[in-house]
Amino acid sequence: MISTRQSSPKPKNDDYARLANYIADASHEGEKCLATWNAGCLADDDYQLGISEVIATQACNERTTKEKTYHLIVSFRPEDESKLSTDDFKDIEKCFAEVLGFEEHQRHCGVHINTANPHMHVAYNMIHPEKKTRHAPYYDYWKRDELCRKLEKEYKITIDPGRKRRQELHKYVVDKKNSILPAVAAARTWEDIHASMASYGLSVSCKEELLIAPFEKNSRGSRIVGHDVHVSLNKQKLEERLGAYQAKKKFYPAQEEFIPSSQDEQRDKNEKAEVMEAYTGQESFDGYLKRHKDIIDSARASALSWQEFQNILQDELNITIKERGRGAVVADLGTRGKSQPHAKLSCLGREYSRARLEADFGKLERLNEGRKSTPKKGYESKPLHRDPERGKLYQEYQLGIKKRKKMFEQQKEQRKQEASEQRLKWKIKIKKYRIDSTLNWKEKRYLVNAIKAEQLRHEELLKKKYANRRAKIKEEIPYGNWNEFLRQKAEAGNMEALAVLQSSKTKEKAAHNERPVDNLLEGMTYTVDNEGNITYKLKNGGVVRDCRKDIYASSDVEAKRFAEELKNRRFTRKHMR
């Protein structure tokens, strides 16, 4: 189980109604929803009336200049869906509301099953329905993370390893277990426990459970529960033997110390680039730079000045280094303007900070604008999939995308020209009435206001006209990125597209090479996600997820029966021949 707070929009874009309708999947008649409900509202079970109630509550607080909606997403493993009922999801949401301090607040919730991992969306109204004050949870990640570990045990669902440092601490304590456990067994007081743990650079505290953490400088976000390591490190058992927990009274020197791994790797990660690659299935500019870091390193080593360094970067990779604020960015020379791909210079490593480069070459100098070059390589946002069958499909995708972009650009120019002509037309009319000497000032003001109102009406009509044209282009070419193209092809039964989608970033072939089963049950539909996992939705609402190596089913009988048929088809010798 993983909980995430979706990044807050700017206050002017904060729209609770839009988020609540998305959670209910209102635009698709709830196709991807397992369940939806609202809580804390006077409207009881009326979902839409509850939305109106929240909007009215938020309007009562005019003091805050921050967002008024908290969007929480809780993700589960595919195998957990059959273990959890709708009531379980509701109870889990109540636990999160209590931990975050939203138990008295209004919220709208929904469980989505349109991806390989079932997930729950919750929209919390941050404005209290009675006090009308805004509540923002403090250090909410740590509270949510601890609750996730607790709920995993309570509902007996798959335990998520959690943060990297927590995993490292758990491994460190397990490795020292053979030395720690005899010392704990021989302890006669809590002070003996503290002394034996301190020798390994660990401290012990008690809340609901016995918690083990490294010494203070490395402790943030790195606590683990004692009985996760061994049953003898259980709070209840230790208190039965040693009495009520007592805090440490003396200082004990550490003979060994837990040292977490370097954070450089985490610091260098570009989350936006990773999200872009996962969503589109194409290489980000950040990934392009890291893939060719050896070329950049050799260019830096051989260059003696900024101009020489910039020239080599242009000749080899068609990139340049530009100043931005107090830092610097690497930009792609193949695209100009606002859409120019760029990445922080430090994404290549700490040794590529602006200060360190200026120590080598002096003050930053831009590339000479008039310089012409024929680069050996360039950024093209290539597919990350490595399947050998992708070539023809990618050509088809590129043709479609080029056509789509051209149609959008033509439409944009047409709209710009038409809007300009309309503005000129209304400007002339307004000026005509203002200089008309036969009208008094009241008549002029009335006519000018009427013209302006008519102008606004025509602008809205123009907006709708071109919105309809954009919709028609999207209907004609319905994909906007490589992953979308592959998904649509796979859902239409193209096995090559499914194999490419399942190949992901690795060179491995797909785990199976079968057409999605669409004729076993009447009224059944299926969808394919970005990783090539197939989700079957049965007529009665049951869900079966085919994740290639494993097949998971929801708790109803028909879904389990269909999952068994899929397993027989996939894994028995009869169907493997």
Q: Note the CATH number of domain 2-154.
A: 3.30.930.30
Alpha-carbon torsion, ordered 97, 98, 101, 103, to 10 deg: 70
Query: What is the structure's pLDDT at 224?
Result: 80
pLDDT of res. 577: 37
Which H helix or E strand runs over 280? helix 271-280
Q: Locate the domains of the chain by residue range.
A: 2-154, 164-242, 285-361, 390-482, 511-576
203 bridge partner residues? 213
**127 near 134, Cβ under 8 Å?**
yes
- At residue 571, the pLDDT reads 64
Along the chain (577 residues), what's the average pLDDT of each consecutive run of 10 residues? 85 90 78 86 90 95 92 91 89 95 95 86 95 90 85 86 71 88 91 90 85 67 78 88 89 80 56 80 90 93 93 93 89 87 87 89 88 90 79 89 94 94 93 91 92 93 94 92 88 84 55 49 71 78 78 81 79 47
How many angstroms separate the CA atoms of 570 and 534, rounded?
14
Which residues have a Cβ under 8 Å from the Cβ of 232 and sit 6 or more positions away? 181, 184, 185
Residue 215 vs residues 143, 196, 200: alpha-carbon distances, Å = 21, 14, 10
Q: What is the DSSP letter of 77?
A: -
Q: How far apart are CA 89 and CA 96, in angstroms?
A: 11
pLDDT at 130: 94
pLDDT score recorded for residue 521 = 54
* Two structure tokens written together for 349: 């490593």
Q: Find all residues with CB under 8 Å of 265, minimum gap 6, and list them.
A: none
Minimal CA–CA distance to 526: which of 557, 562, 500, 550? 562
Report the SS3 class of residue 346. helix
What value does the CA radius of gyration of the chain take, rounded to a whole number of Å? 30
pTM recorded for the entire structure:
0.64
d(CA 410, CA 498): 33
152, 159 Cβ separation under 8 angstroms: yes
Q: Which residues of 509-526 are buried (b: 16+ CB within 10 A; e: fewer)?
A: ebeeeeebbeeebeebee
Q: What is the pLDDT of residue 520?
A: 53
Contact call for residues 252 and 199 (beta carbons, < 8 A): yes
Q: Can you give the pLDDT at residue 522?
A: 59
- The helix or strand, by DSSP H or E, that contains position 206, with its residue range, turns out to be strand 202-206
